[in-house]
């Protein structure tokens, strides 16, 4: 092994000593020859490398909403996938998903990804954000205490009662106001709503200080589980769910089967229909492809969990909501699945290959023509120089043939000396290198002719 290493080193040492300086000289002359065109080509290559951007950030920041919501758990699950792929995922708690969206929009914020409940924001207001798809349902729950409520419409029933709807500006708060206005054609009375965080609202409902809690969140959230664990808490049925879906297409209908929450006490005692939105994962439009793949793989891994109440394992992630445009990476993911290369290579390398495969394919397709073009480009100034020097020698040879006196030869010999110096200091590239000796031989022949002609003129005089 050491023999080969020594041989390789000797080869490079010889190259550095004998050829590198001349090659630099040759390329310098090539650069001068092509001038502006070469500069434009160099700029294009640099621009392409910048566009491909092969090196992603090693840390990304995900907004997870308020305490007690399911998004903190999702983020913690995502962290495992990111860690396995050599990327750090930092979770950024916020007062709600709306605040996470503001952080995602802000140039000064570190947040680069956030969850969002579908149907609560317009993409027109957020043109720099794209979706990676829906990662779970966002069921809309109305919890209450007391006797079972039989009503055709919960918003009409609770219009005169104290109901917690989440903090001002919160996504749940927006959904409640949207659906309430759809039903009542007016804003809810301020004295009848409590704009409380989820955990605080749950405590007050259990204590009996408010009549109901309106929450849009997954079955697995801490707050939802806390309320479901209290046998005195009930879930309001939405008998007009289909009518609401007609008015608000982002909504879906979910059913809580009889006895599915507490089988021992058969709770609920009958099927309960509720409305639901979905939870999207939004990211910055210019987020590095490797990070987008990491989020999609994390969402895929999270979707494989078997403890989802409303969906089967591997149902999510899915492209269910179309309000925000999918990123190109997400489009590829939902159309073709995870690329095969991800099964064999680390994420960062696999993502790079997936991102530039089209460029690699183009390179393979044009590599030979491109190589010939590069060689031709490098050979052209060499051939131009060589032809020019042969032309000059031909002119000197003609000057020797036409000379009629010895006084003409000092200028001829001076020109020959200059051409000899030029031949010795120029570097002819590639296959043109053999013409170096042709030039020297031709120059020697011209010098011999000059000496012979000078002698003949001297003797004749």
- Is residue 437 one of the residues assigned to a domain? yes
Q: Which residues pair with 115 in a beta bridge?
A: 281
Please spell the DSSP secondary structure of 163-226, one letter per residue: EE--STT-HHHHHHHHHHHHHHSSPPPGGGEE---HHHHHHHHHHTSSSEEEEE--TTSHHHHH
The reported pLDDT for the residue numbered 31 is 74
Is the same domain home to 24 and 90?
A: no
Domain stops at, among 338, 370, 392: 338
Own/partner long-range contacts of 451-455 (Cβ < 8 Å, ≥24 apart): 453/400, 453/401, 453/403, 453/409, 454/406, 454/409
Name the DSSP letter for residue 148.
Answer: P
Measured distance CA(244)–CA(182) in Å, rounded: 8
The reported pLDDT for the residue numbered 431 is 64
The reported pLDDT for the residue numbered 49 is 62
User: pLDDT tens digits, residue range 333-345?
Assistant: 999 999 888 888 8
Answer whether 132's CB lies under 8 Å from 299's CB. Answer: yes
The reported pLDDT for the residue numbered 378 is 66
Is the same domain home to 113 and 197?
A: yes
CATH for 118: 3.40.190.10
Answer whether 302's CB lies under 8 Å from 134's CB. Answer: no
Question: CA of 209: how far to CAs of 48, 262, 270, 309, in Å?
Answer: 63, 25, 27, 29
Low-confidence ranges of the chain (pLDDT < 70): 1-8, 10-11, 14-19, 33-38, 40-41, 44-54, 357-368, 371, 375, 378-379, 426-433, 461
- Taking phi over 0 as left and psi of -120 to 50 as alpha, with beta for the rest, 259 belongs to left
The reported pLDDT for the residue numbered 2 is 42
- Is residue 353 one of the residues assigned to a domain? no
- Is residue 256 one of the residues assigned to a domain? yes
Helix, strand and coil percent figures for the chain, each rounded to 5: 55, 15, 30
- Is residue 3 one of the residues assigned to a domain? no
Is the same domain home to 207 and 270?
A: yes
Is the same domain home to 22 and 143?
A: no
Is the same domain home to 292 and 252?
A: yes
Measured distance CA(172)–CA(198) in Å, rounded: 10
**Backbone CA torsion sign across 315, 319, 323, 325:** positive
Question: CA of 120: how far to CAs of 125, 204, 279, 296, in Å?
Answer: 12, 26, 11, 22
Which H or E element spans position 232?
Answer: none
Is the same domain home to 332 and 400?
A: no
Is the same domain home to 307 and 446?
A: no
Is the same domain home to 375 and 397?
A: yes
The reported pLDDT for the residue numbered 376 is 72
The reported pLDDT for the residue numbered 394 is 85
- Is residue 344 one of the residues assigned to a domain? no
Is the same domain home to 236 and 113?
A: yes
- Taking phi over 0 as left and psi of -120 to 50 as alpha, with beta for the rest, 35 belongs to left
The reported pLDDT for the residue numbered 4 is 47
Residue 441 is part of which domain span? 13-49+359-460
Q: How many domains, the chain?
A: 2
Answer whether 281's CB lies under 8 Å from 247's CB. Answer: no
Answer whether 197's CB lies under 8 Å from 166's CB. Answer: yes
Number of H helices, E strands in the chain: 15, 10
- Is residue 1 one of the residues assigned to a domain? no
Domain stops at, among 274, 308, 338: 338
The reported pLDDT for the residue numbered 77 is 95
Residue pointed to by tokens 């434009």: 40
Question: CA of 308: how far to CAs of 67, 246, 303, in Å?
Answer: 20, 26, 8
Is the same domain home to 261 and 210?
A: yes
pTM for this model (two decimals): 0.70
Measured distance CA(461)–CA(459) in Å, rounded: 5
The reported pLDDT for the residue numbered 377 is 72
Is the same domain home to 33 and 103?
A: no
Domain stops at, among 290, 306, 338: 338
Is the same domain home to 102 and 186?
A: yes
Measured distance CA(378)–CA(227) in Å, rounded: 77
């Amino acid at each position: 092994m050491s023999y080969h290493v020594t041989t390789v080193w000797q080869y490079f040492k010889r190259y550095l000593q004998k050829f590198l300086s001349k090659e630099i000289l040759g390329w310098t002359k090539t650069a001068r020859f092509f001038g502006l065109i070469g500069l434009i080509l160099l700029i294009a290559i640099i621009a392409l490398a910048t566009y491909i951007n092969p090196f992603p950030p090693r840390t990304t920041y995900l907004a997870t909403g308020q305490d007690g919501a399911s998004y903190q758990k999702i983020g913690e699950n995502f962290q495992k996938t990111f860690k396995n792929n050599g990327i750090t995922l930092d979770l950024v708690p916020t007062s709600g998903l709306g605040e996470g969206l503001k952080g995602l929009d802000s140039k000064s914020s570190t947040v680069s990804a956030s969850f969002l409940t579908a149907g609560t924001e317009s993409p027109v207001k957020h043109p720099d954000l794209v979706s990676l798809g829906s990662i779970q349902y966002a069921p809309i729950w109305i919890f209450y205490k007391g006797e079972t409520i039989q009503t055709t419409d919960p918003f009409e029933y609770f219009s005169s009662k104290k109901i917690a709807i989440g903090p001002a500006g919160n996504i749940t708060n927006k959904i409640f106001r949207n659906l309430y206005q759809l039903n009542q054609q007016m804003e809810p009375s301020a004295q009848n709503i409590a704009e409380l965080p989820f955990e605080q609202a749950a405590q007050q409902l259990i204590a009996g200080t408010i009549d109901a809690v309106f929450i849009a969140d997954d079955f697995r959230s801490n707050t939802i589980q806390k309320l479901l664990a209290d046998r005195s808490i009930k879930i309001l049925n939405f008998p007009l769910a289909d009518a609401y879906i007609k008015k608000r297409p982002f909504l879906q209908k979910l059913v809580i089967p009889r006895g599915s929450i507490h089988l021992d006490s058969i709770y609920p005692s009958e099927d309960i229909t509720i409305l639901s939105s979905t939870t999207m994962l939004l990211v910055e439009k210019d987020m590095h492809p490797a990070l987008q793949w990491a989020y999609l793989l994390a969402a895929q891994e999270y979707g494989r969990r078997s403890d989802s109440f409303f969906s089967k394992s591997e149902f999510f992630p899915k492209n269910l909501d179309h309000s925000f445009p999918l990123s190109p990476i997400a489009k590829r993911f939902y159309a073709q699945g995870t690329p095969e290369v991800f099964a064999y290579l680390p994420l960062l390398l696999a993502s790079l290959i997936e991102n530039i495969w089209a460029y690699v394919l183009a390179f393979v397709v044009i590599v030979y023509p491109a190589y010939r073009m590069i060689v031709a480009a490098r050979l052209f100034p060499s051939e131009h120089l060589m032809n020019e020097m042969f032309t000059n020698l031909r002119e000197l040879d003609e000057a020797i043939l036409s000379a009629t006196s010895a006084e003409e030869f000092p200028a001829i010999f001076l020109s020959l000396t200059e051409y000899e110096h030029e031949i010795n200091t120029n570097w002819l590239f590639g296959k043109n290198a053999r013409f170096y000796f042709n030039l020297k031989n031709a120059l020697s022949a011209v010098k011999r002719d000059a000496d012979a002609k000078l002698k003949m003129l001297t003797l004749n005089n």
